[in-house]
Amino acid sequence: MSAMQGLLRRSASANGYSPISWSSAKKLFHPASAQRYRCGFVRSLTLGGTFPRSQPERPDLRAGDYKFSKGKYLLSSFCSSSALFSTFPTPTKQMANVPYLKLNNGKEIPQVGFGLWKVTENTADVVYNAIKAGYRLFDGAFDYGNEREAGQGVKRAIDEGLVKREDLVIVSKLWNTFHEKEHVEAITRQQLEWWGLDYFDVFYMHFPVALEYVDYNKKYVTGWQNLDGKIVQSKATIQETYQAMESLVDLGLVKTLGISNFQGSLIMDLLRYARIRPALLQVEIHPYLTQVELVKYAQSVGIVVTAYSSFGPQSFVELGWDKAADTPLLFEHPIITPLAKKYEKTPAQIVLRWATQRGLAIIPKSNSPQRLAENLSSASGFDLTQEEVDSITALNKNLRFNNPPDYLGDLYIFA
Ligand SMILES: NC(=O)c1ccc[n+]([C@@H]2O[C@H](COP(=O)([O-])OP(=O)(O)OC[C@H]3O[C@@H](n4cnc5c(N)ncnc54)[C@H](OP(=O)(O)O)[C@@H]3O)[C@@H](O)[C@H]2O)c1
């Protein structure tokens, strides 16, 4: 048994789960489901019952999934995710069949969330409809300029009884111009007010770069430049900013801290002084920028990695960036399209499944109801083989699209 398997076993046992072998899983569950539970675990296994196909609480699961199971939410699987413990949530949390990832502070997040960057039209409706479709995590930021509207969508869903606040994981980020310790609490309270919330579930440091303070009343969205249109760094260190963010947790304004666009050595340094360990790292990851070592390192120190811009060039084509326009689209790639055909999935679902099978959380953004539903359902129901995962990982070109020097001159943060 590998060290990771041992750890998973101990973790499962501590959470009241029992090991289940691949052969037992095949006997106990619908064949399609058994695949998901190979080398996984089940809780409260009781022989004798089969829920009817019309199981009202979980219309998303087939009757076979519950064969021989008397309890309600018994199943857990982490065999296809190399990293951390994941469970299928209770229906109050989420109707769609999305696994949850356990964080190092004991909290859980859905493995698939909804990204809010560039959601600029009808944002409240988009968020409301995404909740209706089953999304429970929303990845926002001051920089996206839509926090008030996103909050309106959340409020409507809560007021109509679609969800409760505690079912949702609302994520936001501290922008670069608010890194000095005296600005951190004030801007976080302002962002919460825009959302209409008392707390953020997750709050990231958006970039490890501190820029001169800009009053958002004078310029919103602030962007990277000051009021004179210049990019001016401030003297705040990452340590100063992170410690100010830890105070947000003490104040109850934030439940979980995250870091974004950080690389290995910076994380190592942060872990030396962090009183509250960051639970999440959000970075650009797609088949052209696989970040294998960064993911391995973060996971080895108990940090869950969230991939952004999972579709590689796609997100930046809509910004009209040459680098993206000059890169073959992943959705047409000869490694991806045959897999889509084989599994009867879309190329987007193959790209997302490659990420979730690496244990990554994903936050694809889509303005289309059909595509956002497709993205939500990508993290379960089928597994790529390890060879197929590897063949996609081999597409790596270390090609970073969200690279500030490409659009800001000389801010070489990833140099
Ligand atoms: N921390 C950071 O610095 C950072 C940076 C960038 C992004 N992010 C976060 O990550 C989220 C996702 O990244 P992203 O917005 O860059 O890009 P993305 O989710 O990789 O790609 C979005 C693009 O893909 C299209 N798309 C979505 N689903 C599709 C599907 N199933 N089939 C075909 N096309 C599809 C979208 O078009 P349609 O809308 O027309 O479907 C859009 O053009 C952001 O919204 C944001 O929350 C964080």
Structure-model confidence comparison of residues 192 and 90, the more confident one: 192
pLDDT higher at 35 or 303: 303
Q: Answer whether residue 392 is part of any domain.
A: yes
Same domain, 207 and 335: yes
How far is it, in rounded angstroms, from Cα 116 to Cα 123?
8
pTM: 0.82
Amino acid, single-letter form, for residue 316 = F
- What is the Cα–Cα distance from 229 to 247, expressed in whole angstroms? 31
Asked if residue 121 and residue 42 are part of one domain, the reply reads no
pLDDT band, very low/low/confident/very high, at 64 (cuts 50, 70, 90): very low
From the CA of 308, give the closest atom in ligand 1. 10
Claim to verify: residue 192 and residue 298 sit in the same structural domain: yes
Going by pLDDT thresholds of 50, 70 and 90, the confidence category of residue 282 is very high
Ligand 1 centroid from CA 311, angstroms: 7
> Is residue 250 located within the same domain as residue 314?
yes
Q: How many CB atoms lie within 10 A of CB 347?
A: 19
- At residue 187, the pLDDT reads 98
pLDDT for the residue numbered 94: 55
Q: How far is residue 246's CA from residue 10's CA, in Å, rounded to a whole number? A: 30
Ligand 1 atom nearest to CA at 282: 1
Pairing of strands 114-115, 108-110: unpaired
Choose the final residue of a domain: 36, 60, 79.
79
Q: What is the mean pLDDT of residues 91-112?
A: 85
> Residue 296 class from Cβ within 10 Å (0-12 exposed, 13-18 middle, 19+ buried)?
middle
pLDDT digits (tens, 9 = 90+) for 147-187: 999 999 999 999 999 999 999 999 999 999 999 999 999 99
In this structure, which residue's CA is closest to atom 23 in ligand 1? Answer: 315
Residue 44 lies inside a defined structural domain of this protein:
yes
74 and 127 belong to one structural domain: no
Tell how far CA 207 is from the center of its chain: 17
202 and 299 assigned to the same domain: yes
| Position 210 in a domain | yes
Note whether 294 and 364 are same-domain residues: yes
What is the reported pLDDT for 81?
32
Kindly give the distance from the C-alpha atom of residue 267 to the centroid of ligand 1, in angstroms, as a whole number. Answer: 25
Please tell me the residue having the least CA distance from ligand 1 atom 20.
309
62 and 123 belong to one structural domain: no
Average pLDDT over residues 17-40: 37
Domain boundary among 79, 96, 128: 79
182-211 burial code (b ≥16 CB/10 A, e <16): ebbbebbeebbebbebebbbbbbbbbbbbb
C-alpha 22/C-alpha 354 separation (Å) is 22
Cβ atoms of residues 306 and 291 within 8 Å? no
CB 364 less than 6 A from any atom of ligand 1: yes
204 lies in the same domain as 303: yes
In the chain, the amino acid numbered 325 is A
Please name the residue whose Cα sits nearest to atom 21 of ligand 1: 315
Averaged pLDDT of the chain: 83
End-to-end CA distance of the chain: 39
Contact 135, 111 (CB under 8 A): no
Strand partners, 204: 173, 258
- 18 and 63 in a single domain? The answer is yes
Q: Tens digit of pLDDT for each residue in 223-272?
A: 999 999 999 999 999 999 999 999 999 999 999 999 999 999 999 999 99
Q: Which of 37, 144, 242, 288 is catalytic?
A: 144
Is 253:247 a contact under the CB 8 Å cutoff? no
Tell me if 91 is assigned to some domain: no
**What are the tokens at 250?**
């003490």
144 is catalytic: yes
Angle, in degrees to the nearest 10, between helices 386-393 and 336-343: 150
Between strands 75-76 and 41-42, the pairing is antiparallel
Q: Dump pLDDT digits (tens) for 354-413.
A: 999 999 999 999 999 999 999 999 999 999 999 999 999 999 999 999 999 999 888 999
How many C-beta atoms lie closer than 10 Å to residue 239's C-beta? 13
- The whole-number pLDDT of residue 93 equals 52
Alpha-carbon torsion 377, 379, 380, 383, what sign?
Answer: positive
- Let me know the angle formed at the C-alpha of 328 by 324 and 331, rounded to the nearest 5 degrees: 105
Whether 84 maps to a domain, the answer reads no
> Higher-confidence residue: 92 or 220?
220
Q: Does residue 90 form part of some domain?
A: no
pLDDT at res. 318: 87
* Structural domain boundaries, residue 24: 3-79
Same-domain status, 311 and 197: yes
Shared domain check, 19 and 155: no
Q: Which of 32, 63, 79 is the last residue of a domain?
A: 79
Q: What are residue 307's phi and psi, to 5 degrees?
A: -90, 130
Share of the chain above pLDDT 70, in %: 77
Q: For the chain, how many residues are written?
A: 415
What is the number of domains present in the chain? 2
Could you identify the atom of ligand 1 that is nearest to the CA of residue 139? 47
- If you ran DSSP here, which 8-state letter would residue 257 be given? E
Nearest CA to ligand 1 atom 36: 366
Q: How far is CA 373 from CA 15, 96, 134, in A?
A: 31, 9, 8
Give every CB contact of residue 266 below 8 A, 6+ residues apart in sequence. 208, 238
Is residue 11 predicted with pLDDT exceeding 50?
A: no
Residue with tokens 């959380």: 361
Within-domain flag for 95:
no
CB 174 within 8 A of CB 221: no
Question: Which of the four pLDDT bands, split at 50, 70 and 90, describes residue 304?
Answer: very high
pLDDT score of 27 more than 50: no
Query: Is residue 15 pLDDT above 70, yes or no?
Result: no
Looking at per-residue pLDDT, the higher value among 106 and 16 belongs to 106
**CATH at residue 198:** 3.20.20.100
Of 60, 25, 62, 23, give the one whose Cα is nearest residue 41.
25
Domain annotation covers residue 58: yes
CB of 117 closer than 6 A to ligand 1?
Answer: yes
Can you tell me the mean pLDDT for 45-60?
29
Both tokens of residue 201? Answer: 């579930």
- For residue 378, the CA-to-ligand 1 centroid distance in Å is 15
The DSSP 8-state label assigned to residue 286 in this structure reads B
Angle between the N-to-C axes of helices 147-159 and 123-133, in degrees from 0 to 180, rounded to the nearest 10: 40
Closest residue by Cα to atom 5, ligand 1, is 308
pLDDT of residue 97: 87
pLDDT tens track for 305-348: 999 999 999 999 989 999 999 999 999 999 999 999 999 999 99
Distance of CA 332 to the CA centre of its chain: 24
